[in-house]
Structure 1
Amino acid sequence: MVEAKRMKFGTFHLMEQPFTKSEAQVYAEHIEQFKLADKLGFDSVWLTEHHFSSVPYVPDVDGEYCVCASPYAMACAVAMITENVRIGTAVKILPLEHPLLTAEEAAMADILSGGRIDFGVGLGYRKYEFEGLRIPVEEKLERFNEALEIILGVWTTEEFSYEGKFWSVPRMTLVPRPIQKPHPPVWVATRLGTHEVIDYVASHGYHMLSAWAPPDQLGQAYKLMREARSNQGLDMDFPFTCVRHVFVAESDEEAKRKGTEYVDYYMKSTAQFRPIGDHERGQMVFGGPETCIEKIQELNEVAGINNLICWMNFGGLPIDMVKASMSLFVEEVMPKCREFGAVQQAAE
């Protein structure tokens, strides 16, 4: 196995709101977490987007699933309070908004952050979000493709025009534009398992965002991505990323005692949207430092993961517990995992 650059780590921010907290408190706690991530040496923070995540849509859960409706508004806030972390969206749901607005919002965030934006995009998967905005969910793939073409077009073309099925753009020059050239890195949320999706991502020079696939499936996708990038003549040193819940305590027993109720809350809040079982619990990076290191090493060696996005504030965890877990992760887990490097080929 050949190693390259060091492994990287980010933090993921869904911004759940248990009814024990106000929206203002949720935002304030994540602001604390952004500042700490920057101070501790995390490489990135990642912001999500959801709409109408209220009780009528998420029954039997004592809280809101997500209160981050505008990831680029939040990205601008993050830009003002951090200096080093990259700021990604995981993801901006492209079919839900006019692409010119998305292009402007992301460009502003890129400027305010000094060129730290990672443009993570996806189709969306919650039907009620499309219904609430009166957008036919069956159109989401076509809308996604059209929106991304427009956004990249206005970012890179001095005078751009477009005639599409859903949007038309008169000849214009977009202001403002991102300061990263030709544009911020593009990350696409993908469901693994198809050559077509991976070929699409690789052929455009984009990066993949994935979440809950087990290591063996991620490893297969990694090999397909290497093959596709090789066919395109692209660099083999590329980020291969997944999201995992991460909770670190002094020991496995302490992690179980302190963290289990918050894992249970998260599982309950998302169960209606996709089936969840013990296999997903088993994929969490959860336990004492040595257990967490072993989990991350498996992701690196079996799946090719060299960029782990750590979901550390989940299920209503008190902010003091989140910050303690982050600090312990950086002190005891991250230094050893940095040494794993970015594997160039997943283990057979």
Structure 2
Amino acid sequence: MEFSLFYFSGDGSKTQANKYNLLIESAKFADKNGFSAVWTPERHFHSFGGLYPNPSLISVGLAMVTERVQLRAGSVVMPLHNPARVAEEWSVVDNLSNGRVALAFASGWTVDDFVLSTESHANRRETMWRGIQTVQKLWEGEQVELKDATGKAFKVKTFPRPIQCKLSTWIVCQSNTTFIEAGKMGANILTSLLGGTLEEVAPQISLYRESLAKHGYNPKAGKVAMMIHTFVGEDFNTVKEQGREPFCNYLKTHVELLDTLAKNSGINVSLDKFTEADINSLLRFAYEGWIKGRTLIGSKTTCMQMIERLKQADVDEVACLIDFNPNFDAVMASLSYLKDLKDMCNTNKEKMVLLS
């Protein structure tokens, strides 16, 4: 099981120094301690996640303070960008990092984001697949035809040339169709448990492996990374209480997640009719379920149980979302326990028995 760090929750609305301190220091930690990658998202027009409007810019900064860890976009919202600009920007990052770039592509979610796009929100998936193919061709040095606003066609090649000959490509997946399409093109998978349980996602991973095999790829060569909220400590009950308020505040910022929580709890009421007390009650109930089956919030022992379940579901990597907790000192302290968990997962079987 590989481990990486994932970021999404930074508040971009505050005027303060050192906004990126947690990102930079935790990325340094990941680089020095054998983590596979750091993922930074693309997020627009919302204070929550507002630290990350452009993962290529963020990754330039990270390239300067790391040496080994892979720098991944988690994700590039492809319909919002010209493919040539994506190839150009990330080729710069690939050069600055000496070949450590990987990109997870997404089709986009909210309609508001598409004020940045010349493409329609309704056609975003088709635009994504087409754009990925163009980025890959440009990355490999091919000349491609692009059109200007009048429809006039131009043939272009992008520069600088990247260090890596092939672009390491990931697809952000939630639906069955996307898992299958990702397998069809031989891409890796980035998914999460935000929309369902592990038992619901596991069959989708199987569809992905089947699609890889069907289209001539080694089904075991494709990687599946699972984004999971992570906060590890010595004692389960202590960590549980330390993580409660940050995690519930995190859920409050995601209305769509609250809607899912309400439906999963059998509550078919519009959340705009909920009082603050109603929402807090829902969150208290939801938190208990989330930490047991959908997060790595707990001790090394309890988190190891979740890791074993992920292995059974054919997950290759845990993408640990750590910045839902805004407490810098607490998160940095928890990383030592996360490193121990990583090392426990990747030692030999005899040691695994002793340590668990």
In structure 1, distance between residues paired with 2:12 and 2:43: 16
In structure 2, distance between residues paired with 1:198 and 1:133: 25
In structure 2, distance between residues paired with 1:208 and 1:169: 33
* 127-136 or 108-117: bigger deviation: 127-136
In structure 2, distance between residues paired with 1:134 and 1:53: 21
Q: Verify: 1:214 aligned to 2:208, yes or no.
A: no
1:179-198 matches, within 5 Å, as: 179-181=163-165, 183-192=166-175, 194=176, 196-198=177-179
In structure 2, distance between residues paired with 1:214 and 1:84: 33
Give 1:286's aligned residue: 297
Match for residue 72 of structure 1 among 46, 49, 56: 56
Matched residue count:
319
In structure 2, distance between residues paired with 1:242 and 1:153: 28
In structure 2, distance between residues paired with 1:164 and 1:240: 37
In structure 2, distance between residues paired with 1:168 and 1:207: 35
- Which stretches of structure 1, 4 residues or more, deviate above 6 A after TM superposition? 164-168
TM-score normalised to structure 2 length? 0.82
Runs of 5+ unmatched residues, structure 1: 1-6, 55-63, 342-348
TM superposition shift of 1:42: 1.0
Match for residue 298 of structure 1 among 309, 334, 345: 309
In structure 2, distance between residues paired with 1:269 and 1:110: 33
Runs of 5+ unmatched residues, structure 2: 262-285, 350-356
Q: Verify: 1:337 aligned to 2:345, yes or no.
A: yes
Are residues 67 and 161 of structure 1, via their aligned partners in 2, closer, same or farther at CA, if it must alter by over 3 Å?
A: same
Are residues 233 and 165 of structure 1, via their aligned partners in 2, closer, same or farther at CA, if it must alter by over 3 Å?
A: farther
In structure 1, distance between residues paired with 2:158 and 2:116: 29
User: Structure 2: which amino acid aligns with 1:53?
Assistant: H
TM superposition shift of 1:198: 2.8
Give 2:277's aligned residue: none
Give 1:52's aligned residue: 45
Q: Verify: 1:319 aligned to 2:315, yes or no.
A: no
In structure 2, distance between residues paired with 1:330 and 1:51: 32
SS in 2 for 1:111: helix
TM superposition shift of 1:107: 0.9
In structure 2, distance between residues paired with 1:67 and 1:261: 21
Give 1:91's aligned residue: 75
TM superposition shift of 1:105: 0.6
Identity rate, percent: 24
Structure number with greater CO (CA < 8 Å, separation at least 6) is 1
Cα deviation 1:310-346 (Å, max 9, x = unaligned):
0112142x11111111111112x112222499xxxxx
* 260-269 or 200-209: bigger deviation: 200-209
In structure 2, distance between residues paired with 1:74 and 1:267: 25
User: Structure 2: which amino acid aligns with 1:313?
Assistant: D
Cα deviation 1:72-100 (Å, max 9, x = unaligned):
01111111110111111111111112221
TM superposition shift of 1:149: 2.5
Give 2:318's aligned residue: 308
TM superposition shift of 1:208: 1.2
Give 2:137's aligned residue: 153
Match for residue 6 of structure 2 among 12, 31, 38: 12
Give 2:25's aligned residue: 32
TM superposition shift of 1:252: 1.0
1:105-254 matches, within 5 Å, as: 105-131=89-115, 136-162=120-146, 170-181=154-165, 183-192=166-175, 194=176, 196-212=177-193, 213-238=196-221, 239-254=223-238
SS in 2 for 1:91: strand
User: Structure 1: which amino acid aligns with 2:27?
Assistant: F
In structure 2, distance between residues paired with 1:256 and 1:199: 36
In structure 2, distance between residues paired with 1:324 and 1:165: 52
TM superposition shift of 1:24: 4.1
TM superposition shift of 1:197: 2.6
